[in-house]
Structure 1
Amino acid sequence: MATTDPPDSPGSTNHSEIAHSSVTTDKSVDLDAIRDRLDHVHDPELDRSIVELQYVEAIEIDDGAVTVAFVLPTAWCSPAFAWMMATGIRDEVEVVSGVTSVTVRLSDHMHGDEITTGVNQRRSFDSVFEDAEDGIMAVQQKLDEKARFARQHSAIKALQQGGLDPDQIAPLTRADIELDFSSDLAAVTVQDGALTVTVARDPLAEYLNKARETGLVADESDRLFADREGEPLASDPESFESIVRDARLAAANIEGQGAICESLHESRNGVHFD
């Protein structure tokens, strides 16, 4: 089956989610383009866009020079996580047409000055936080693996709702999935091409993005699903259900942490979530 890789973007940006941000612009750069790129930047612990989470506090544009200020739910959020978001903002915004420079500012954080200065000077995390136990890449890898495993729960649930059983789900490879971005469906081929079913596209597309980022799925022949350690998903019912339960727990933990952060963000920074 021909396959189509999911786009990097999580979808169209809901600009109302950053409506509380202050904006100063001279029209030298497309503001919507900046907002769309910011939607690519995720809180690595919550696996959600900083746009959705309403972290963007201000966007200033002055003759191609862009400044983005962001704020987190607490002043003591992990400096490693804050660093990842700050560098993500810088890297995403600087590819927008017309942008000549990007300045990132982390507001109201106990390490805000160090992170703001370090990221804008393009220093490494280790050079700014010399006492950090783990390097930024190691932390990023752990969080990406956690997010990949949590997203797996929604992807498998979509396949099960489409009528597939463990024997059909476990051996699936990238080549068995075709994502249709003109609709909200994905086509899944099983039983050596003898059967094709359609399922909800978004859970699979979101999972494939993260599976690709972690290196689990790089080629058409790579198995789609794995346990926490990256071992291929087993098809026997007991092992399959055990991994599905584990993935469900991972997803629930991230969702629960997200709810806590939303509450803290509302109390501290005056944002509102539906």
Structure 2
Amino acid sequence: MAELRTAAWEALHQVIDPELDEPVTDLGFVRSLEVSEDGAVELHLRLPTSFCAPNFAYLMASDAKDVLRALPGVTGVVVELDDHHDSALINTGLATDAGYRDTFPGEADEDLEQLRATFRRKAHAAAMERVLTRLLKDRPELAEADLHAITVADLPDEAATRSLLNRRAAVGFGTGPDELVLVDDEGRPCSPEQVPFRLRFARATRISVEGNSHFCRGLLRTRYPDSAADQTPRAMSSEGRAS
């Protein structure tokens, strides 16, 4: 079952913390992963605090169950969230495939797809700002206002660009060579006059995402000292395994 365990671990790279925009594997959120000889998979997740938002927790755990269940050779999947104040509710909901709203009746005011869409837009804004800020540094002849006309074809073929294209696809934006890079949350292009505001907004989003990630990584290491060995630095995870 070594091959199936490797496949399961690779599949978990697809499970993204929606707020931090990083795989749960790189964040150190995977506490244990066991695969039996008959193909049964048991996964335990851990989070930085016992009071992390239950909607984020359920989304990650539910996504983990989905990607593991889709693997050839898997005969059953158990996913449990450990040491959370809502562990009992979440684990029961996961076991019965109840869904978030039925797991938290009367409390869930939006479904997981709405939540996912909100954070995908933030992830796209952050990735867009990283690429365009790097482009301004690498091409000093460009003025900030010139960014309104930059297309995908103008971007270098590197990991940060591929990460941006993945995030564009996730929010439903085009990824062809003629697509304008600097757009708002609805995919609308910016005029030269709008560039400074849009870039500042995207930069604030990126700083918030990266700051939250740094904070949560530290909290996890404090709560679970052994998790330090399981964490991959963001520079590697965001460029090497972008979702």
CA contact (8 A) 2:165 2:175 kept: no
> What residue number does 1:232 align with?
189
Q: Partners in 1 of 2:150 and 2:95 — Cα distance? A: 43
| Aligned counterparts, 1:158-173, within 5 A | 158-163=134-139, 165=143, 169-173=147-151
CA contact (8 A) 1:162 1:199 kept: no
Match of 1:145 among 102, 115, 121: 121
Q: Partners in 1 of 2:65 and 2:79 — Cα distance? A: 6
* TM-score, length-scaled by structure 1: 0.75
Q: 1:215 to 1:267 in 2, by over 3 A?
A: same
CA contact (8 A) 1:29 1:99 kept: no
> What residue number does 1:215 align with?
172
CA contact (8 A) 1:68 1:103 kept: yes
Q: CA-atom RMSD, angstroms?
A: 2.2
> What residue number does 2:220 align with?
265
| Aligned counterparts, 1:65-76, within 5 A | 65-76=40-51
> What residue number does 2:202 align with?
247
1:162-217 Cα shifts (integer Å, max 9, x gaps): 425556642345xx43xxxxxxxxxx3xxxxxxxxx62511111111111111122
Aligned to 2:156, the other structure's residue is in SS state strand
CA contact (8 A) 1:41 1:85 kept: yes
Q: Partners in 2 of 1:268 and 1:211 — Cα distance? A: 35
| Aligned counterparts, 1:11-90, within 5 A | 27=1, 29-62=3-36, 63-90=38-65
Q: Partners in 2 of 1:138 and 1:162 — Cα distance? A: 37
Shift of 1:51: 0.9
> What residue number does 1:155 align with?
131
Shift of 1:231: 2.6
Match of 1:199 among 142, 147, 156: 156
Aligned to 1:103, the other structure's residue is in SS state strand
Shift of 1:59: 0.9
The alignment-based identity, stated in percent, is 27
> What residue number does 1:193 align with?
none
1:15-43 Cα shifts (integer Å, max 9, x gaps): xxxxxxxxxxxx27522211111111111
Aligned to 1:51, the other structure's residue is in SS state helix
Aligned to 2:43, the other structure's residue is in SS state strand
Q: Partners in 1 of 2:50 and 2:182 — Cα distance? A: 37
> One-letter code of the match for 1:171?
A
Q: Which has the higher strand share?
A: 1
Shift of 1:139: 1.4
> What residue number does 2:98 align with?
123
CA contact (8 A) 1:158 1:203 kept: no
> What residue number does 1:102 align with?
77
Q: What stretches of structure 2 of length at least 5 have no aligned partner?
A: 234-243
Aligned to 2:182, the other structure's residue is in SS state coil
Give the number of aligned pairs: 225
Q: Which has the higher helix share?
A: 2
Shift of 1:223: 3.4
The higher relative CO (CA closer than 8 Å, separation ≥ 6) is in: 2
